[in-house]
Structure 1
Amino acid sequence: MVEIKTPEQLAKMREAGLVVAAIHKATREAAVPGATTKDLDDVARKVLDEHGAKSNFLGYGGFPATICTSKNEVVVHGIPSEDVVLEDGDIISIDCGAIVDGWHGDAAYTAFVGSGHAPELIELSRVTEESMWAGIAAMKQGNRLVDVSKAIESYIRRQPRPATGKYGIIEDYGGHGIGTQMHMEPHLLNYVERRRGRGPKLVPGFCLAIEPMVSLGTPRTEVLEDDWTVITTDGTWSSHWEHSVAVTEAGPLVLTAPDGGKAKLAEMGITAAPDPLG
């Protein structure tokens, strides 16, 4: 059931991934106090148009926008709106994707709006991002799906507890396969659930969107009346980071990172795969 990609197909996914990276750069620059989340969506649409790419979010299951804009206690799937204004001290997770010649890219990041953020929010984002990279580092031949889940969870559990008492690893949402569709088998938990077993073996051409979501409190969520917006049940703020990643014989290839993940993986003592686009 897992779609395995050829090197030529990975090159197309890399093209889509670079469009996603361009959207991240543009929306990060636009996420300033006074901007609306609709403004950010407009920025993303412009980048897609400039690259001749299509959105894989717009219309997906009826989703009405190009990106997800999840502010503060919103974990994921926030709908851009003219009524949601960014304020100094907010955090916002922006999740977006692109399609190039039928191949998908998908990634997310958490941004800080303005200045003066509480240390626990800065640490929350750091822990979430670093847990993603721990999962990426586990994307190597011979490992199994559960090794990625274990790496993510283990990193989070090792961190000092925040002032709120704990980090909540969101239970109802996780990573996924990606390729000719945005969401494919297998589903990737951000923690280990023993009854699921070890999962499929990671082989060259195996691609995952790795996306931990972590709150400053509960791991539990609820969906608002719009049938999309997911919030923490206790109102604590959350962070979301994601990259699309491929297993190759030469190491992990981070399809949605501008440099393919080379710099960050080098810090971890891991050699990233060569960029198929040169």
Structure 2
Amino acid sequence: MGLRDRGLEIKTPEQILLMRRAGLVVGHTLELLRTSVRAGISTAELDAIAEDSIRSRGATPSFKGYYGFPASICASVNDEVVHGIPGDRVLADGDVISIDCGAIVEGWHGDAALTVAVGTVADDVQELMRTTEEALWRGIAAARPGGRVTDISHAVETHVRSQGAYGILEDYVGHGIGTQMHLPPNVPNFGKPGRGPRLVEGLALAVEPMITLGGKDTDVLEDDWTVVTVDGTHSAHYEHTFTLTSTGTWVLTALDGGEAALGELGVPFGGR
């Protein structure tokens, strides 16, 4: 059975270039949002900045209208893990906000997320953010042609477990991406290596560790979107879209294609 027969979307190099265009829109937008986060700004204001950035670059927000989602970003604060709806909430010093952003260019998607500290945050929260971002890169670095999807999962979990007693969400995972924002296969943030579909050139995946200072259990608020930790502890969320090319790994939503971070981990860079 071929990969396409298993529902996996394998892209041509030309299609990957379109995904890179979408990825750059996301990357530039997230960098703009990173510098815009401050005490006193509302999550709705951040959403307006994001939508303007996406549309001004000739792209369409992936999230707006997706199953009825009303905004262009997900803005999740403190114990909100993912899918927070932007609104009247005003950020305060000591908060952390996870911002998830997606864009479409000529039918092709890019998807990435980061977590930003508002002013000065507690040391354990700062360490949570560091651990989660490092786990993202170690997951991507574990992807090799001929490997398996859960090689990524195992690398994420191994790094998180090595750094402390953190919670790793199991009900929310990474995913394939391309002509749709969410495609097979799922990319969990935990598990044994060597399982799942094979990793091949042209398969694009969004890897997104969601890690908490407490347990892994979550609830969904009455808005039917916002996912929060049951124990009220803080969380962090980082995400990138990447693919494998004939020369290495290419992180489509990183402004430098992931070259610097991959280089530090000894991974060949496969971008153009």
Matched residue type, 2:20: R
Counterpart of 1:50 (choices 51, 56, 59) is: 56
State the partner residue of 1:110. 115
Q: Using the alignment, how far apart are the partners of 1:139 and 1:40 within structure 2?
A: 33
State the partner residue of 1:168. 167
Q: Using the alignment, how far apart are the partners of 2:90 and 2:185 within structure 1?
A: 36
Q: Using the alignment, how far apart are the partners of 1:274 and 1:211 within structure 2?
A: 20
SS at match of 2:61: coil
The answer to whether the aligner puts 1:155 opposite 2:171 as a matched pair is: no
State the partner residue of 2:20. 14
Matched residue type, 2:139: G
Q: Using the alignment, how far apart are the partners of 1:99 and 1:13 within structure 2?
A: 8
Contact 1:139 1:246 (8 Å CA) reproduced: no
Contact 1:140 1:248 (8 Å CA) reproduced: no
State the partner residue of 2:128. 124
Matched residue type, 2:110: G
Q: Using the alignment, how far apart are the partners of 1:34 and 1:183 within structure 2?
A: 33
Offset, 1:171: 1.3
Q: Give matches, 1:21-170, under 5 Å.
A: 21-82=27-88, 84-115=89-120, 117-159=121-163, 161=164, 166-170=165-169
Counterpart of 2:260 (choices 250, 259, 263) is: 263
Q: Give matches, 1:172-183, under 5 Å.
A: 172-183=171-182
Matched residue type, 2:118: V
The number of residues matched between the two structures is: 266
Q: Using the alignment, how far apart are the partners of 2:150 and 2:113 within structure 1?
A: 22
Q: Using the alignment, how far apart are the partners of 2:245 and 2:147 within structure 1?
A: 12
User: RMSD in angstroms over aligned alpha carbons?
Assistant: 1.0
SS at match of 1:48: helix
Offset, 1:30: 1.2
Q: Using the alignment, how far apart are the partners of 1:215 and 1:274 within structure 2?
A: 32
Q: Using the alignment, how far apart are the partners of 2:82 and 2:123 within structure 1?
A: 22
- What is the identity percentage for the equivalent residue pairs of Structure 1 and Structure 2? 54
Offset, 1:193: 6.2
Matched residue type, 2:119: G
Q: Deviations over 1:172-218 (max 9, x none)?
A: 10100000000000011100169xx7111001001100000000001
State the partner residue of 2:4. none
SS at match of 1:234: coil
Q: Using the alignment, how far apart are the partners of 2:200 and 2:162 within structure 1?
A: 28
Contact 1:141 1:249 (8 Å CA) reproduced: no
Matched residue type, 2:258: G
State the partner residue of 2:209. 212
Structure 1: runs of 5 or more not aligned? none
> After TM superposition, which residue ranges in structure 1, 4 or more long, deviate above 6 angstroms?
none
The answer to whether the aligner puts 1:202 opposite 2:206 as a matched pair is: no
Matched residue type, 1:61: Y
Q: Deviations over 1:6-28 (max 9, x none)?
A: 10000000000000011101111
Contact 1:124 1:216 (8 Å CA) reproduced: yes
SS at match of 1:176: strand
Contact 1:128 1:241 (8 Å CA) reproduced: yes
Counterpart of 1:244 (choices 237, 241, 246) is: 241
Contact 2:249 2:271 (8 Å CA) reproduced: no
TM-score calculated relative to the size of structure 2: 0.96
